Amino acid sequence: MKEIRFPGWLVVDFFTHSYRISGHLDVSKRSLAEMLNDSTTNFLPLEDAYISPIDRPGEITASYPTSVLSKANLTMALVANQEDALPRKQAYGSYMGVYLYNIFLTVPTFEVTGYLRLSARVDLRRLMAMETEGFLLILDGRVRGSIRPDIVFNAGGILVNKRHIGAFCVEESK
């Protein structure tokens, strides 16, 4: 799959409990983060979707020119570059959080490590329960299979559905 289909399109790997869905998302009007965190719609349109089982992510079992994903069932979304995971208002160098946290979290079938940047000290309860965004942004992340640790994905940006997080651990970095 090509990295960029044409300007305004982004290659994204989406994960559900059982599948990896790779495809192109139109980000010409809104960023990936803005679409995932938009509470006015429960679905995400995707083009050129390739479907793989979660335990065999390199094996394409089906492909479709057009599809729609249910955001509630998405565990996470991975993109190659950090800038592609940021909301547009933060994508041009303005989002350099004061605090950098090394994180570890679990979601069904995977563990996620990476960095969380915030403008204030972290309060996990507030971050998980009171923030309006449904998807948490992890930068320079790594996703590894919990049952099959040989399955590893590296990403510049990972947007994790907070409703699917089982454990969330934070360590303040220097």
- For residue 52, the domain's CATH number is 2.30.30.100
HSE toward the beta carbon, residue 26, CA cutoff 13 A: 9
The predicted pLDDT at position 71 comes to 97
Question: Could you say which of 57, 79, 101 is where a domain stops?
Answer: 79
Q: Are 13 and 53 within one domain?
A: yes
d(CA 142, CA 152): 7
Asked if residue 2 belongs to a domain, the reply is: no
Give me the phi and psi of 133, to 5 degrees please. -70, 135
Given a contact cutoff of 8 angstroms between Cβ atoms, the answer to whether 14 and 46 are in contact is yes
At residue 5, the pLDDT reads: 43
First to last CA, the chain: 38
Which residue, 79, 105, 126, sits at the end of a domain? 79
Is 4 within the bounds of a domain? Answer: no
Same domain, 100 and 63: no
Among candidate residues 116, 110, 79, the one with its CA nearest the CA of residue 95: 116
Tell whether 94 and 159 lie within a shared domain.
yes
Q: Are residues 60 and 26 in the same domain?
A: yes
Distance of CA 170 to the CA centre of its chain: 18
Q: Is residue 1 part of a domain?
A: no
Return left, alpha or beta for 94; rule: phi > 0 is left, psi -120 to 50 is alpha, else beta.
alpha
Q: Is 145 a domain residue?
A: yes
- 30 is a domain residue: yes
Tens digits of pLDDT across the chain (174 residues)? 444 445 789 999 999 999 999 999 999 999 999 999 999 999 999 999 999 999 998 899 999 999 999 999 999 999 999 999 988 766 445 555 567 889 999 999 999 999 988 766 666 777 776 667 899 999 999 999 999 999 999 999 999 999 999 999 988 655
98 plus 162 within the same structural domain: yes
- 124 occurs within a structural domain: yes
Burial (CB count within 10 angstroms: exposed 0-12, middle 13-18, buried 19+), residue 25: buried
Range of the domain at 27: 9-79
Q: Are residues 75 and 138 in the same domain?
A: no
Whether 102 and 153 share a structural domain: yes
Give the integer Cα–Cα distance in Å for 40 and 96. Answer: 28
The torsion angles phi and psi of 102, rounded to 5 degrees, stand at: -85, 125
Same-domain check for residues 96 and 168: yes
Number of domains in the chain: 2
Q: What is the pLDDT of residue 3?
A: 46
pLDDT of residue 97: 56
Do 71 and 117 reside in the same domain of the chain?
no
pLDDT at 100: 80
Last residue of a domain, one of 53, 79, 105: 79
